[in-house]
Structure 1
Amino acid sequence: MIVWILCLIFSLSHPILIFASFPAKHMCHADQRDALWEFKSEFHPSGLAASEKTQRWRNNTDCCSWDGITCDPKTGNVAGLNLLGSSLNGSLRSNSSLFRLQHLQSLDLSSSNLAGILPDSIGNLKNLRVLKLLECNLFGKLPSSLGNLSYLTHLDLDGNDFTGELPDLMGNLNQLTKLILASSKLSGNFPHVLLNLTELTTINLHFNQLEGTLPSNMSSLSKLEYFNIGSNSFSGSIPSSLFMIPSLIHLNLERNGFSGPLEIGNISSPSKLQTLSLGGNSLNGPIPGFISKLAGLLYLDLSFWNIRRGVVGFSIFLHLKSLTFLDLSHLNTRSMVDLSLFSHLMSLSVLHLSGNNLNISSTLNLPSPIGSLALASCNISEFPKFLQTQTSLFYLDISNNQIKGQVPEWLWSLPGLGYVDFSRNSFSGFDGPADVIQRNEIYMLDISSNTFKNPFPLLPKSIIYFSASDNQFSGEIPKIICELDSLGKLILSNNNFSGSIPRCFENFNTKLTVLHLQNNSLSGEFPEESISVGLVSLDVSHNQLSGELPKSLINCTYLQFLNVEDNMFNDMFPFGLRVLPGLQFLVLRSNKFHGPLYPPEGSMSFPKLRIFDISKNLFSGALPSDYFAGWNEMSSGVYTADNRQQRFIGVSFSNYSKSVVLTNKGSKMELLGISFNIYKTIDVSENRFEGEIPKSISLLKELIVLNMSNNAFVGHIPPSLSSMTNLQSLDLSRNRLSGKIPPKLGKLTFLAWMNFSYNMLEGPIPQGTQIQSQNSSSFVHNLGLCGAPLQKTCSGEEEEETRKEDQEDEENYQVLSGIVAAIAYVPGVFCGLVISHILISYRQDWFKKISKCIA
């Protein structure tokens, strides 16, 4: 009985003992709960993601149970805050309640719109181990207070717009293992302070603006596994010490300016390298044989290596049995690349050999796993038959070769094919029935620059990108295009299409981003129904379109490029385009646009505009003095457009037909590719403008081409033009300008071409290397001009009088330039209108009235 009683007591007490052995669960502290609640109120969340996290927080409850909150079970302190994807909107203030959470060890606010600088207060969270602020729209310099986070092991600030250099105090983060600062705008040399952080396993500085050389002692980072500094501006040789890091697995140095031969010493221990990306540099000399010893390589990119027309021993790649990715494009070698060499690499899924002389055997059989094959510019004259067995092929680029005839029908039977580029060959058609392409889910197809003729191919509904420019298609644009629900880019330029533009492109809603129909014979009015609100680039130039521009263009809030040159549009200036926040290229050249160039109300501000060409139209009237105030992109040397939005210009699929023909230095010049990012031009020539040249033109410090010729401008040439130090071409000919040529124009070092002919100018032609190098035709038909390069000489009195008047005018106009600049950035619309009226009055008292107005 006693034994049974003892057993009963033990059985009852056992759960109590077990329960007592667990520590009590603490609720979060009231002050930390209040700090979190205040932090939530500092932002205005948006989107479904927000409602799924912070929107479920409830005040006066245990914050340790809130979504995204982690607490220390022993103390109840808030140790983790994870609001990844919560769509917070608003700046992270320096006095934010977030910084009262002194026990935070992990903070993740990624994919929020913090839209501001990262405050120094971040350094107050001294217990942080993990800090993740990916893609938060942060900008400005990195705060030096990051160096106070001495416990930090993981720092990820990827995808922001940070500028400047890494703070030296970050060298204090001696426990840091992962540093990710990719896709930003960091500058300066490689941060040497990183060499002190010997615990680092990951350094990712990809896609920044870093430059200079790498330090020679990179091997001090003895635990480094992942090193990515691709897409920067580093130069010099690649230090061999990088390859001496025994732990290194991933090495990406692509798209920099590294040069010279790659010299690697003896590698004593087996390398762990799985990724070696050196492509897109200026490396030269032989490909080092040590690569054959990197038996674990999965990814190898040696593209654009300059072998200097030498011979490549391709056998070094045969030992790399694990390779899945190999890019040997553009090696500049005289060696013939035998494609059969790569048939031994059984794991290969990506093979890029573009820009080499290729030998393709009729019996070639590559391993079937290949999914991406690039053989552009390889002097191929026949369609590669070995492709018939490539059942895994998704990406095929055989552009810029010499292939003739028809595209074989069997190609479209490859089940995985999604991306095909046949551009710049001599294909004439498609073998098989009319619906041969529709049998497969093709997403991207480029058949541009061939000799394709009707019938127009029937495209699959899956198509996203289709380019058929520079062919011989004719007749109306097929209405079947309207059924392509996923179409995002359509390029049909440089063909013989006629008839009207299909009234269906609005069916694509926001999906159609690029519509290029230039250089055809399209006619009729531009239908409103043809405007997709998602348009980024629209080019219908060099057709026979008439009527008015579609008013629905003002709904295209993503529009950056608009070219309607050389049509028969008969309309007023499209003032509604001012509301488009990203418009950069506006070309209305050679039409019948008419009327004034100033809106009935409001200002004429185009903050992102880079190219403005309205020449050869019927515009008339005077331009107010402050007309160009607010054209910020032409005023600033900083490219303000978001790079992520700009990538459509250099889209990787193909350089689709986007071009602008400008008048530069008296001759026509076509802009293509990167030229769009360089040139900032204004051309208002061959219209009916009158009145004075707006003094605010001098605000456009970054302007390269200015053409105001063939109008009826009167008054003096603004001396403040001499502040436009980037100007290369200036044409003011065939107007009614009077007075002197400002002497400092001759000292503009980049101004290589100028034309002042057919005006009423007088006085000596200024001395200066640039002006004296001009042909005399640039000054003819100005009866009062004298001096070289004209044969008419000047008297001494004329020169002295001109010198004094120019000095006086220049001082006055400098005052005006500053005033106009102030108007551009300070609320002063009314004042600007007053100034425009005052400028008509007598010169001696105008700036007194202006000063009074500004005050």
Structure 2
Amino acid sequence: MHSCIERKMIIWSLCFLFSLSDLILVLASSAKHLCPPDQRDALWEFKSEFSVQELDSSWWESDLKTERWRNNTDCCSWDGISCDSKTGKVVELDLWGSSLNGPLRSNSSLFRLQHLQSLNLSTNNLPGILPDSIGNLKYLRVLKLRYCNFFGKLPSSLGNLSYLTDLDLSVNQFSGELPDSMGSLNRLSELQLRYNNLDGNFPAVLLNLSELTDIRLSYNKFKGILPSNMSSLTKLESLEINGNLFHGSLPSPLFMIPSLIRLNLEGNSFSGPIEIKNISSPSKLEVLSLGQNNFDAPIQGSMSKLAGLRTLELNYMNTRITLDLSFLSHLKSLDYLDLSGNDLKFSSTLRLPSLGWLFLSSCNIVEFPKFLQTQTSMLLIDISVNKIKDQVPEWFWGLQIPHVNISQNYLSGFDGSADVIQRTGDVVTLDISSNAFRDPFPLLPNSTDYLFASDNLFSGEIPRAICDLVSLDRLVLSNNNFSGSIPPCLSTYLSVLHLRNNSISGVIPGGFMSYMLISLDVGYNRLSGELPKSLVNCTRLQFLNVEENRIRDTFPVWLRSLPILEILVLRSNEFHGPISYPGSSLPKLRIFDISRNNFTGILPSDYFAGWSAMSLPVVYFEGDSQYRFSGVGKPYYRASVSLRNKGSNMELVGSGFTIYKTIDISGNRFQGGIPESIGLLNELIVLNMSNNAFTGRIPPSLSNITSLQSLDLSRNKLSGEIPPELGKLTFLAWMNFSYNRLEGLIPQGTQIQSQSISSFAENPGLCGAPLQKTCGGGEKARNQEQEEDQVLSWTAAAIAYLPGVFCGFILGHILTSYRHEWFMRIFHSFA
């Protein structure tokens, strides 16, 4: 009995020990999951190396991950951090779009994270060179540094990253050639270097990287002919080298790569015939882009070997070529075809594959293409910029194409009954701009969401039939001769309303303003009254242009409630009164034009303090650079605005809104000093404060606006000197200080000295180049005067010095004698 109890106790003890050991192991294992202190400290120090300031971009939103880090918590739980499950070491750092600002230093604490396998710092502002220290992260498999504003040469230490499989350095300012050391990246599969300034011949080091599946070198400065042994890249699936300076014939070895799916050679200087040779087995090629080159011979029949082709772009090739479209009949899988910018030859019996997307812009087509009648599943047709006359045929509406661009032709109307046209249920986008349409306004498909009808011959009142388009989202009727008033019946869901350059009168109705409104342009009309305060409800408004009307109102201070307003143009109206209110209310504003009104008052010194979009660097989106009509998502609305730049008027369209940052308050009655806070807008490009009554000195803080290209301060009451610091603004190509009360020497500097005399005229006190007036009788006289002043100064000093020495000697002797006598008395008293 006793032994039995003992055995049970032993068993229970062993079970307890095993359980306890398991618990210890679990706790120990759990402890290992925690981020080690050295890793946490390195991350925390890395965070402190940068300021966090949102970049200026309209196509992505920042995610301030590092702002949510807490130093007293496990760093493996921080946003953007992943750790090894066994060791707790940081293996992934993803701070994409975290608004980090500042250079990546060579001694950055980042490089203490020696176990990193994935690093993504894309879409941050890290201006500077990519330090060699990047090569210390020897376990990296993924490195993504896209949109970071890096410049200089690629560091040779990249070759140390022998585990690297994915490298993306796109959209920076890297220059020079690829370092030879990159030939050591034997595991590299994806390489993206698009949108940089890299040059030299095609990087031969890449031909040794047999694991490469994706090479993207688009929009650089690579040149020369492609190497003949490109077929050595046996696993290559995608090659994009468009937008470079390559030349020579179409490189046939590329078509011998059995795995190749996507090939983009667009926008180079390739020449010769388009001929596909040496394909022994069925090609896997699905995307072929050869447009914008100099091919000088018709397409050969061998194109039929690419039976699996789904996308073919042959746009804007040599204008001497006339393309015979019969070769397309062999491409049964073709879905996307772009032949824009070529002379086309096609017969009335031509039968194309069943296409989804067809671009035939600028092809010298003179009649509506009949071969479209066989297309039953098309999503988009673009036959803009041709010579097509008469009317759109009735059969066209039966094709039910959702996105239609027939702009820039000579079309005058639609053929077909109301039943045929209005009940066409699939038309979403209809662009009939720049044609010969005139009254009566044509019947429209009821399904139309986006209607572009600018630059035609319409007149009379805006037709109320437009109000029947219940799903209408974007309406552009600019550059016609519409009169009357804006119909209040317009859809309350409009996101874009452009009525620019018509003869519309009356007031802007306030009741129809949609909370969905993004862009409102009613410039160059005859509108009067006040700006409707109902716009305060349009919290999505980005673009507001009412220039060249007769609107009489005070400054719309309620615009402070519009958080994403980017463009405000009130030019040439009858606005009046002060405009002073805290500038921090306009954080997104990039174009501010209130010129040629009757605004008055003094601008407080901190007026521009919160205009952060004008002080942040621009992040360029690669799609901003060119416009193509597209039915994907919401089509581009072609906003435009007139600006005064470098003394001349210019029309700003499209991507210019992203690049230009301007302030124009000229032609008003402002007084007082120019606000010192103007110097905070260091990304400002155009500043025009002319034709006012500004007084005081030109603020030296203007020299902080390092991007400034055009400065006009003429016709004010400014006094004092032109700040010498302005001579350091290397981009300042045009300036005007005329008709003020300025004085003193014109600053030295290449940009200032290159200005015409008229830029400094009517300032009686100004002197020096480029004016003919010298300062103080000329340089020689001024130097002589300075020398004489120096001589007089030294003489005066000497005259003052000699009596001083004599007096000092006498005084010193007296003091010395007195001190000796005093010392002797003290000595005798102690003795």
Normalising TM by the smaller chain, what interval?
0.7 to 0.9
> 1:203: Cα distance to partner?
0.7
CA distance in 2, matches of 1:726, 1:268: 46
RMSD over aligned Cα, in angstroms?
4.6
**SS of structure 2 residue aligned to 1:620:** strand
CA distance in 1, matches of 2:730, 2:724: 13
CA distance in 2, matches of 1:758, 1:113: 47
Matches within 5 A, 1:406-805: 406-415=391-400, 417-434=401-418, 436=421, 438-482=423-467, 484=469, 486-503=471-488, 507-508=492-493, 512-578=494-560, 580-599=562-581, 602-604=582-584, 606-636=586-616, 638-639=617-618, 643=621, 652=630, 656-721=637-702, 724=705, 726-742=707-723, 750-762=731-743, 776-784=757-765, 795-796=776-777
> 1:771: Cα distance to partner?
5.7
Matches within 5 A, 1:264-343: 264=251, 271-279=258-266, 281-287=267-273, 289-290=275-276, 293=279, 295-296=282-283, 297-307=285-295, 310-343=296-329
Residue 221 (structure 1) aligned with residue 209 (structure 2): yes
* Alpha-carbon contact 2:92-2:116 (below 8 Å) kept: no
CA distance in 2, matches of 1:107, 1:89: 17
Residue 393 (structure 1) aligned with residue 381 (structure 2): no
> 1:693: Cα distance to partner?
2.0
Instruction: Check 1:482–1:197 CA distance in 2 against 1; reply closer, same or farther (3 A cut).
Output: farther
CA distance in 2, matches of 1:526, 1:37: 62
CA distance in 2, matches of 1:699, 1:268: 54
Residue in 1 that maps onto 2:348: 362
Once the two structures are aligned, what percentage of the paired residues are identical? 47
Indicate which of 309, 327, 330 corresponds to 1:344.
Answer: 330
> 1:455: Cα distance to partner?
3.5
- Runs of at least 5 residues in structure 2 that lack an aligned partner in the other structure: 1-22, 36-62, 787-831
CA distance in 2, matches of 1:673, 1:194: 38
> 1:686: Cα distance to partner?
0.9
* Alpha-carbon contact 1:502-1:530 (below 8 Å) kept: no
**SS of structure 1 residue aligned to 2:372:** helix
Residue in 1 that maps onto 2:47: none
> 1:253: Cα distance to partner?
1.5
Look up the equivalent residue of 2:551 and give its one-letter code: F
Q: Deviations over 1:8-33 (max 9, x none)?
A: xxxxxxxxxxxxxxxxxx9x956777
Instruction: Check 1:109–1:175 CA distance in 2 against 1; reply closer, same or farther (3 A cut).
Output: closer
> 1:453: Cα distance to partner?
2.0
**SS of structure 2 residue aligned to 1:217:** helix
> 1:644: Cα distance to partner?
8.9
* Alpha-carbon contact 1:375-1:397 (below 8 Å) kept: yes
Which is higher, the Rg of structure 1 or of structure 2? 2
> 1:662: Cα distance to partner?
1.6
Q: What is the count of residue pairs matched by the alignment?
A: 713
> 1:159: Cα distance to partner?
8.4
Residue in 1 that maps onto 2:816: none
CA distance in 2, matches of 1:324, 1:180: 28
Residue in 2 that maps onto 1:374: 359
* Alpha-carbon contact 1:419-1:443 (below 8 Å) kept: yes
* Alpha-carbon contact 2:169-2:193 (below 8 Å) kept: yes
* Alpha-carbon contact 2:734-2:755 (below 8 Å) kept: yes
Residue in 1 that maps onto 2:16: none
* Alpha-carbon contact 1:102-1:125 (below 8 Å) kept: no
> 1:648: Cα distance to partner?
11
Look up the equivalent residue of 1:427 and give its one-letter code: L
> 1:632: Cα distance to partner?
3.7
Residue in 2 that maps onto 1:836: none
- Runs of at least 5 residues in structure 1 that lack an aligned partner in the other structure: 1-25, 39-85, 805-855
CA distance in 2, matches of 1:651, 1:192: 42
**SS of structure 1 residue aligned to 2:301:** helix
Q: Deviations over 1:551-586 (max 9, x none)?
A: 344454444332221122222323343454543322
Q: Deviations over 1:699-729 (max 9, x none)?
A: 4444333222221112233355455554443
**SS of structure 1 residue aligned to 2:739:** coil
Indicate which of 176, 192, 196 corresponds to 1:205.
Answer: 192
Matches within 5 A, 1:20-35: none
CA distance in 2, matches of 1:611, 1:190: 39
Instruction: Check 1:741–1:173 CA distance in 2 against 1; reply closer, same or farther (3 A cut).
Output: closer
Q: TM-score, normalised by structure 1?
A: 0.71
Matches within 5 A, 1:124-163: 150=139, 155=142
**Further displaced range: 436-445 or 771-780:** 771-780
Residue in 1 that maps onto 2:790: none
> 1:194: Cα distance to partner?
5.1
Look up the equivalent residue of 1:524 and give its one-letter code: G
> 1:772: Cα distance to partner?
6.2
* Alpha-carbon contact 1:447-1:468 (below 8 Å) kept: yes
Instruction: Check 1:243–1:445 CA distance in 2 against 1; reply closer, same or farther (3 A cut).
Output: farther
Q: Deviations over 1:75-105 (max 9, x none)?
A: xxxxxxxxxxx99997567823453623799
Look up the equivalent residue of 1:298 and give its one-letter code: E
CA distance in 2, matches of 1:304, 1:710: 47
Instruction: Check 1:574–1:518 CA distance in 2 against 1; reply closer, same or farther (3 A cut).
Output: same
Instruction: Check 1:127–1:374 CA distance in 2 against 1; reply closer, same or farther (3 A cut).
Output: closer
Instruction: Check 1:312–1:548 CA distance in 2 against 1; reply closer, same or farther (3 A cut).
Output: same
Instruction: Check 1:488–1:102 CA distance in 2 against 1; reply closer, same or farther (3 A cut).
Output: farther
Instruction: Check 1:30–1:679 CA distance in 2 against 1; reply closer, same or farther (3 A cut).
Output: same
CA distance in 2, matches of 1:490, 1:35: 61
CA distance in 1, matches of 2:538, 2:178: 42
CA distance in 2, matches of 1:127, 1:739: 58
Instruction: Check 1:743–1:34 CA distance in 2 against 1; reply closer, same or farther (3 A cut).
Output: closer
Q: TM-score, normalised by structure 2?
A: 0.73
Structure with greater contact order relative to length (CA < 8 Å, sep ≥ 6): 2
CA distance in 2, matches of 1:304, 1:565: 38
CA distance in 2, matches of 1:407, 1:585: 37
CA distance in 2, matches of 1:127, 1:716: 54
Residue in 2 that maps onto 1:8: none
> 1:428: Cα distance to partner?
0.4
CA distance in 2, matches of 1:285, 1:703: 43
* Alpha-carbon contact 2:776-2:782 (below 8 Å) kept: no
CA distance in 2, matches of 1:320, 1:481: 47
Instruction: Check 1:793–1:136 CA distance in 2 against 1; reply closer, same or farther (3 A cut).
Output: closer
> 1:758: Cα distance to partner?
3.3
**SS of structure 1 residue aligned to 2:397:** helix
**SS of structure 2 residue aligned to 1:577:** helix
